[in-house]
Structure 1
Amino acid sequence: MPRKTGFKVALLILSMLWLSACSRHSMYETAIGLERSGAGLQVKTVEVGDWQIAYLANKEPTDGDTVVMVHGFGADKDNWTRLARELTDDFNVYAIDLPGHGDSSKPMDLGYSLAQQTEHLARILDALALNQYHMMGNSMGGAITALYSSRYPDRIKSAMLLNPAGIMEYESELVDLVVAGDNPLIPSKQGDFERLIDFALEEKPFIPWPVLGVVEEKKIANREINEVIFEAIRDSGFQNEFRQRIQGIQAPTLVVWGKEDRVINYRNGDLFVSLIDNARLEIMEDIGHAPMIEAPERSAELFRELADASD
């Protein structure tokens, strides 16, 4: 069954479950399972020292290259399923739940600066015995991808940075809100997750209401660890060193930015490409902070062009 047809069938099944009065949690598990399956992915785990790390990987490996996907702050591996659906026929996808996120271990005292998270990712990829791969990351994950690509140039075939954090020369709406003591990225009460979606995404995907409610519960439950991670990133005073480090990226690099991003100003994209050799910038009109969710087909096309150029 073609994947797009399968996705429509999944929506029909969800509607039937809703009408049959299944619990919200059952509907959530069904929905997330169908979306993963439709993308050709399955959930796996790997032990990394004391951590248990969850990730998504191909149900059926291919002969193609490997691509590692790194989510943003407060997000998880499932942010990549819609983009992965466009790639798993030809690429071996690994979408990682970083420590502190998703279904992975969440030690409060681990250390969550961008530099520390880059080394956490390196340990995970070593545990997975991956050698060479393309890497893409969104927001916080974009900054981690950039740092990883500079730190381990022999492992990276190409780097795709989607609305990356790390450089905040041009401020955004988020900065003003955080300074005022109101961080929309960390839900703490009912209604906050819907507000987060409205703030972060310009082109919002369909999410059935019961599923939205369960996701919100999970986000609220993660508030404490999210506050720790956010403060670790904000307090690291890392911007000047970050700019120096990413100049070491050697792989072909594509910076993709949604022009309507309210989280990180798209104009920072020019600074990224000015610092990285062999980098170019692609601005997406009418897209917000998460192109892989808002425009998965176009994001996949851009990645394929980048991957072809790295061969």
Structure 2
Amino acid sequence: MLQKSPFTAVFLVLSLLLVSACSRHAIYETAINLERSAAGLEADNITVGELDIAYLRNSEANNGDTIVLVHGFGANKDNWTRIARELTDNFNVYAIDLPGHGESSKPLDLGYSLEEQVSHLDRILEALGINTMHMMGNSMGGGITALYAATYPDKIKTAVLFDPAGILDYENEMVGMVLAGDNPLIPSKAGDFKRLMDFAMEEQPFVPWPILSVMEEKAIANQEVNKVIFAAISEVGFTSDFRNTIKRIEVPVLIVWGKEDRILDYRNGEAFLEAIPGARLEILEGIGHAPMIEAPEESARLFLEFAKTRTSKTG
């Protein structure tokens, strides 16, 4: 997703590429790399068992804490570049492409329940040598983050859940659409990706057509594995297991929810607040399902203030 601040440089480069008749894919790669660079991030990869895992990390390491960023269903590591701009000066940021997503391996038979994804993520973090961290997750990644904090309390300093999956006390329009066989989260034809962005976000960043078209192309190519993953995670909000597990969380947890979320109703935040001991809930007016993209500065500010007060109290 394109950020506001480096637009001038991005547009200059895109203009030059368009004039020189570069392909859409070349324009996409250039723009994504500019976004990563502006956020102080660079791409890397690691082999974990049978999986090839792609991730972003600081271009320059520092002496700060580590933050691990966990994207949502059908998303990828680049969903975090906007908020990463606010963090990489003082933290070592790792944005992971979970298995089945982005540029990581996509085996259909891996196992993609939230609990299984927690295990996959822990294997990845062990391979990266990350043993203590702050963790942020959005949507499915928020559910994974909550379960990770409950499962590995000694590894987590603070956890931030952006519009997390896992509890579905309040349904909204997406549930009815999925039950009717129309899942807006799994693009399958031209126009579906723009529809997804319109549905998911109230405050969308501007994305030029050449980049948007490649993003749609990639999303459509992933529809088979996306259907497998969605089936694996779709029942979690209707069971008590998730809720009972996150009651064991002992680390500081901040829940941030966009009030205009059409995918997971913001009122479910109260259920998370009730389940997680000592958690704090922030509702953002005029924001949809992805606060870290729609309101990156505010999302980062909430984390920084929360982490400063909570870690100073516990540490």
TM class by shorter chain equals over 0.9
For the Cα contact (< 8 Å) 1:258–1:285, is it kept in 2? yes
Question: Which residue identity is paired with 2:290?
Answer: A
Decide which moves more: 285-294 or 301-310.
301-310
Q: Distance in 2 between matches of 1:186 and 1:59?
A: 32
Shift in alpha-carbon separation, 1:4–1:178, aligned structure 2, 3 A:
closer
Q: Tell me, in whole angstroms, the C-alpha distance in 2 between the residues paired with 1:160 and 1:42.
A: 23
* Pair 196,232 (structure 1): closer, same or farther in 2 beyond 3 Å: same
| Distance in 2 between residues matched to 1:234 and 1:245, nearest whole Å | 17
- Runs of at least 5 residues in structure 1 that lack an aligned partner in the other structure: none
Paired residues of 2:69 and 2:135 also in contact (CA < 8 A): yes
AA matched with 1:273: L
TM-superposition CA deviations, 1:147-196 (whole Å, max 9, x none): 00000000100000000000000001110100111000000000000000
Q: What is residue 204 of structure 1 aligned with on the other side?
A: 204
Alpha-carbon distance in structure 2 between the residues aligned to 1:277 and 1:66: 24
Q: CA deviation at 1:15?
A: 3.0
Could you tell me which residue of structure 2 aligns to residue 53 of structure 1? 53
Residues 184-222 of structure 1 show CA distances to partners (whole Å, capped at 9, x for unaligned) of: 000000000000000000001010101100010000000
Q: What amino acid is the match of 2:185?
A: L
Shift of 1:10: 2.1
Match of 1:78 in 2: 78
Counterpart for residue 93 of structure 1: 93
Residue 235 of structure 1 and its aligned partner are, at CA, apart by 4.3
Q: 1:14 to 1:111 in 2, by over 3 A?
A: same
RMSD between superposed Cα atoms in Å: 1.4
Deviates more, 1:275-284 or 1:68-77: 275-284
Partner of 1:246: 246
Q: Given the alignment of the two structures, is residue 117 of structure 1 paired with residue 117 of structure 2, yes or no? A: yes
| Residue of structure 1 in register with 2:231 after alignment | 231
Q: Which residue of 1 aligns with 2:151?
A: 151
2:279 is matched with 279
Where 2:240 maps in the other structure, the secondary structure is: helix
Which sections of structure 2, spanning at least 5 residues, go unmatched?
none
Residues 236 and 4 of structure 1: CA distance in aligned 2, closer, same or farther (over 3 Å):
closer
Kindly tell me: are residues 236 and 275 of structure 1, through their superposed partners in 2, closer, same or farther at Cα, counting changes over 3 Å? Answer: closer
CA distance in 1, matches of 2:214, 2:262: 25
Shift of 1:12: 2.5
Cα distance in 1 between the residues matched to 2:146 and 2:201: 23
Between Structure 1 and Structure 2, how many residues are aligned?
309
1:8 Cα deviation from its structure 2 partner: 2.9
Structure 1 counterpart of 2:93, one-letter code: V
What is the aligned partner in structure 2 of residue 170 from structure 1?
170
Q: Is the 8 A contact 1:57 1:94 kept in 2?
A: yes
Instruction: Name the residue aligned to 2:136.
Output: 136
Please give the secondary structure, in 1, of the residue aligned with 2:80.
helix
Aligned counterpart, 1:268: 268
Is the partner of 1:301 in helix, strand or coil? helix
Question: Residue deviations 1:73-105, cap 9 Å, x none?
Answer: 000000000010111000000000000000000
Alpha-carbon distance, 1:236 to partner: 5.6
User: In 2, Cα distance between the equivalents of 1:162 and 1:5?
Assistant: 23
